[in-house]
A and B are shown apart, each in its own frame.
Chain A
Amino acid sequence: MPHSEHIVSGFDRDLEGIQAQIMRMGGLVEEAIAKATEALETRDLELARAVRAGDKAIDALDEQVNDEAARVIAQRQPIASDLRTVLTVFRISTNLERIGDYAKNIAKRTETIIDQPPVNGTGASLRRMARQVELMLKDALDAYIQRNADLAADVRARDRDVDQMYSALFREYLTFMLEDPRNITTCMHLHFMAKNIERMGDHVTSIAEQVIYLVTGDMPDDDRPKEDSTPHDAGLKG
């Protein structure tokens, strides 16, 4: 099974090589999430710029993973669990790359609002939310390396908390904007950051689902509980 070795040892080296790249990407993405929101909370322009610059490395790894995985398909014709490994590598790499983009976007918006006065502790709330996503990502990648479908299912369930945090922040920003129109520019940016983190959570969930597929051969088909109520939030009524 996945832990025993191929007769052609080069095949094992190929698969291990790609998975090592995924883990490297995962490490960079975790760091980007943490640093982007730290830069926001501490108003650290240099750190925000470093996050933006760092996204290039994540994009480059994504490209490398795709090239390598395509080569493995062409040269080794993977089937069964090997096929699932290669298919999930493609998707997980794409998910990580997108999470990196969201972190980069947070850094950009941080640079824009860096001179604005902070809006009442919301930087800390965003950082907590990002921390939650970062931990989910760490567990999703651990689940991937350990081929642990239970841990992946747990990660998938935890996205609910992220959705709840986002809904709460959405209402908070709305209130601040209603209270004082001078908050609008900052709150619009903060809201997009919150939305970015919420989307990161969805990509982590997608990674967790790939792990479940990798281990079991089936995608989870039950409906995941969702707690993002903002699509129904009419807000400014009356």
Chain B
Amino acid sequence: MNDMRVTERTVTDKEIKMKARKVQVFYGDNHAIKDVDVDIEDKTVTAFIGPSGCGKSTFLRCLNRMNDTIDICRVEGDIQLDGEDIYDPKVDPVQLRAKVGMVFQKPNPFPKSIYDNVAYGPRIHGLARSKSELDEIVEKSLRRAAIWDEVKDRLDAPGTGLSGGQQQRLCIARAVATSPEVLLMDEPCSALDPIATAQVEELIDELRERFSVVIVTHSMQQAARVSQKTAFFHLGNLVEFGETSKIFTNPDDPRTESYITGRIG
């Protein structure tokens, strides 16, 4: 484990966007995340994998303080974005979430028009000074989410009227509209068919040119396809973290091997 980190440091030339050290998460008495250290690189897709209940989603939610909304949840340790502590009392979680956006498992468009779904974030964060600037942000975001051509003639139609795959890409457009630096995705394709999944994966690859993507997925093949770094969580511990190509051809830890190859571990 430690040896691996050393080699990683020597092969990587990307900047560290988010850095987590000795992170602990408690749900009441339940110690859900134990001593997790992770570096999220800039312009890289990092996949979190592990069996249900291993803590990967919990940890993901720490990265933009989504756990703040759960009363019994307590987060300890240090998580930094560009060297600044995101749990510092001076940090406004709403501002933080504009920088560290999130896409959820089930597409959850607002019950508003397609246009307003995307315009919502830029409006509340005051990112557009005029209607034409807002139009521009909406178009750019929908294009980045690879859904513009499908919706450009019906921007006033309700977002909830789109197909599942389109709704998910609309949610991604909504997330990228605030120009985030990190995008967190919690099983973004689990409710999608293979075509919509392929579209979202293609999109993730394009988004990587602009920012970091952290994706939680239950599909080993998806993690292998879309990510450059993979972290394997088990029982609240980060068991192995390294190059995706290494993890999926020759993992170091027998627990990783057992899990990814579908053996009883």
A contact residues vs B (CB 8 Å cutoff): 1, 4-8, 11, 77-84, 217-218
Contact = CB atoms under 8 A, between A and B. Distances in A.
A7 B248 contact: no
B262 A7 contact: yes
Nearest to B257: A80
Contact of A80 (B248, B264, B265): B248
Given A81-B250, A83-B248, 18 more contacts: A1-B254, A4-B258, A4-B263, A5-B263, A6-B262, A8-B262, A77-B221, A79-B248, A79-B261, A80-B250, A80-B251, A80-B256, A80-B257, A80-B260, A83-B249, A84-B250, A217-B249, A217-B250
Contacts of B127: none
Specify the main secondary structure of chain B where it touches its partner.
helix
Nearest to A218: B250
Nearest to A7: B262
B232 to A, nearest CB: 11
Interface string B231-264: 0000000000000000011110010111011111
B224 interface: yes
A223 B221 CA distance: 36
Nearest to A87: B249
B249 A1 contact: no
A6 B249 contact: no
Contacts of A8: 262
B220 interface: yes
A5 B264 contact: yes
Contact of B262 (A11, A84, A218): A11
Contacts of A80: 248-251, 256-257, 260-261
A8 B261 CA distance: 10
5 contacts: A1-B263, A7-B264, A78-B261, A80-B248, A80-B251
B261 A81 contact: yes
Interface residues of B, number: 17
Contacts of A82: 261
Interface in B209-243: 220-221, 224
A77 B222 CA distance: 12
Contacts of B261: 6, 78-82
Nearest to B252: A217
B220 to A, nearest CB: 6
B257 A1 contact: yes
B225 to A, nearest CB: 11
B249 A79 contact: yes
Contacts of B260: 79-80
B252 to A, nearest CB: 9
Contacts of A7: 262-264
A4 B264 contact: yes
B176 to A, nearest CB: 30
A69 B220 CA distance: 20
B250 to A, nearest CB: 3
Given A1-B254, A84-B250, A217-B250, A79 B224 contact: yes
A83 B263 CA distance: 14
Contacts of A6: 261-263
A80 B251 CA distance: 7
A1 B255 CA distance: 8
Contacts of B220: 77, 79
A11 B261 CA distance: 10
Nearest to A85: B261
Contacts of A78: 261
Interface in B16-72: none
Given A7-B263, A80-B250, A1 B221 contact: no
A106 to B, nearest CB: 38
Contacts of A218: 250
A4 B262 CA distance: 10
B243 to A, nearest CB: 13
Interface centre among B248, B249, B258, B263 (most CB of A within 10 A): B263
B249 A84 contact: yes
Q: Enumerate the 9 nearest inter-chain pairs by beta-carbon distance, A residue then B residue, closest first.
A: A217-B250, A79-B248, A82-B261, A4-B263, A80-B261, A6-B262, A80-B257, A7-B262, A6-B263
B83 to A, nearest CB: 35
A6 to B, nearest CB: 5
Nearest to B258: A4
Nearest to A217: B250
A217 B265 CA distance: 20
Nearest to B250: A217
B258 to A, nearest CB: 7
Contacts of B251: 80
